[in-house]
Amino acid sequence: MIRRLAECERNGEDLRGFSVFTQNVPVEAIKSVILGERTPIPDQIEILDLVKNTTIALSLAAIEHSGYAFRRERIKFNVPVSQVGPMMSPRTAHIFSDAVTQRGEFARWMVDNHPMSKIVNKPV
């Protein structure tokens, strides 16, 4: 996204001392969010909470099982979760494991017992 500098606000400096300018983005302009491989679980939970009632899709970039690429682990489609529930895999189950619901119970089982859980959640 490119904006005129005059339309942006100075928002501090980067590590090299260069000014950083930003501008608010309307929620309607955001189609999807892809979380990085190392996004902390509390941040994943917070971001899901922010987008769960929107038409913003949410995925996690996870390291591919072979090769040097990322695969996209879908967490939420581009509809509110009230219409289509979130997706859960061994890689994303941690996001739901604190829930006091059937989904939370299944997520805890998946984290503890799914054969792929130890592989896909291995720290890099």
Q: List pLDDT tens digits, range 22-70.
A: 998 888 899 999 999 889 999 999 999 999 999 999 999 988 877 788 8
Residue tagged 């930003």 (tokens) = 22
3-class DSSP assignment, residue 52: coil
How far are the Cα atoms of 61, 64, 65 from residue 69, in angstroms, in the given order?
A: 9, 5, 9
Assess contact for 58 and 36: CB atoms under 8 A: no
Residue 8 — pLDDT band, cuts 50, 70, 90? very high
Q: Does pLDDT of 124 surpass 70? A: no
Q: What is the pLDDT at residue 123?
A: 64
For the stretch 59-96, what's the b/e string if a residue is b when 16 or more beta carbons lie within 10 angstroms of its beta carbon?
A: bbbbbeeeeeeeeebebbbeeebeeeebebbbbbbbbb
3-class DSSP assignment, residue 89: coil
Q: What is the pLDDT at residue 62?
A: 85
Q: What is the pLDDT at residue 117?
A: 85
Long-range contacts, 19-23 (Cβ 8 Å, 24+):
none
Residue type, 15: L
